[in-house]
Structure 1
């Protein structure tokens, strides 16, 4: 995997070179916001390992026939996923009534237009990176059939996919219900995936209670 800075610069330049819309091209040439870059550096790239299907400053039309720009658009095939980094200042502390109403309208109209919208607080990127990484895996899982290592059995591969779709660590009982197997069998599968360093124990010392994806 390329170092982040090299991969990021290549990806951004590719978007600039391929963009024929002068409005978006000018925005891209000015560079991305600090929050977006930090999200990509600390959350997206370490978790996903590439920028496939990800487009910065994606242009959308608003209800007044104007133009808005999503921080990031994730669009595999015909899917439409929007990610916006909510800074503490303008988006929360200093948000006046008019801007708050405008933000709500924007999110609502994007949803009605078929977008799956994911706002992420800048403070969470800094304070809760692991939770954000799990969130991104779940977000992507809504759009594509998540690949699992080819050497895994069907039950192991489905366990990986199930874990990626969840927003929190999973329990052996939840997995057993999902796979329609016994609790003992689900624990065996989870233990095997931990040994392969695909999953890690999220809670429990003497006896593991919950498991999550290994995002390292």
Structure 2
């Protein structure tokens, strides 16, 4: 049995044992293949644990009507609702009234401080790398690694934004043009971001050095 399977079974067992009534029944009925795939393909590769994550989490709408989120990620940094939506059940078979309710429910939860995150089942199954990138970007304030990086300065954060907007590897020359730094200072900032794992250097030609933005930098762009 893989490490994920062991952790997943322990995760479900803990929540089932701590619930009663309909909340327990909903978890047993509702956490099926799609929900497990979200954990296996998206959550586990990023976190390596299920800390602060609650499956089939009950929330209420403006009429005190009960509704269960696929997952709730509740931390001191915020509350995140995570849903896996299948095309057949969530779009194709949805009438106008249910469609309106789904939009209003998400808006209501947003007003209560939730950040709602939706993934299609197709992407979870076929393009999990896209889902992982988007989840990193959405959760942002919460560290997704066991060893958090050193603090990023304001200037370095602006350089990351520039690197993202360029759509190509960034050069010391780009930093110098943007902020008026000399070449040595620009290179120093880029090297600092490289040391923190947010950029990766690559040489092109004999003298010019470029820096590629890394996936780990996405959470710093918020």
Counterparts in 2 of 1:89 and 1:186: CA distance versus 1, 3 Å: farther
Q: 1:210 aligns with which of 199, 212, 219?
A: 212
Match of 1:132 in 2: 131
Structure 1: 5+ residue runs without aligned partners?
A: none
Q: Is the 8 A contact 1:59 1:69 kept in 2?
A: yes
Q: Quick one: distance in 2 between partners of 1:77 and 1:170?
A: 36
- Corresponding residue SS for 1:103: helix
Q: Quick one: distance in 1 between partners of 2:168 and 2:137?
A: 13
Q: Quick one: distance in 2 between partners of 1:46 and 1:147?
A: 10
Stretches of 4+ aligned residues off by more than 6 angstroms: 167-171
Counterparts in 2 of 1:117 and 1:191: CA distance versus 1, 3 Å: same
The Cα of 1:54 is off from its aligned counterpart by 0.3
The Cα of 1:155 is off from its aligned counterpart by 4.7
Counterparts in 2 of 1:33 and 1:76: CA distance versus 1, 3 Å: same
Q: Give deviations 1:125-159, integer Å, cap 9, x for gaps.
A: 233222211222233323x3666737x65459x97
Match of 2:220 in 1: none
Larger Rg: 2
Match of 1:4 in 2: 4
Q: Quick one: distance in 1 between partners of 2:95 and 2:30?
A: 27
Q: TM-score, normalised by structure 2?
A: 0.72
Q: Quick one: distance in 2 between partners of 1:38 and 1:135?
A: 16
Q: Is the 8 A contact 1:172 1:190 kept in 2?
A: no
Q: TM-score, normalised by structure 1?
A: 0.74
Match of 1:100 in 2: 99
Counterparts in 2 of 1:155 and 1:115: CA distance versus 1, 3 Å: closer
Q: Quick one: distance in 2 between partners of 1:138 and 1:124?
A: 16
Q: Give deviations 1:154-188, integer Å, cap 9, x for gaps.
A: 459x979x98xxx9999658xx69xx984322332
Q: Superposition RMSD on alpha carbons, in Å? A: 3.8
Match of 1:187 in 2: 190
- Corresponding residue SS for 1:80: strand
Match of 2:19 in 1: 19
Q: Quick one: distance in 2 between partners of 1:96 and 1:66?
A: 19
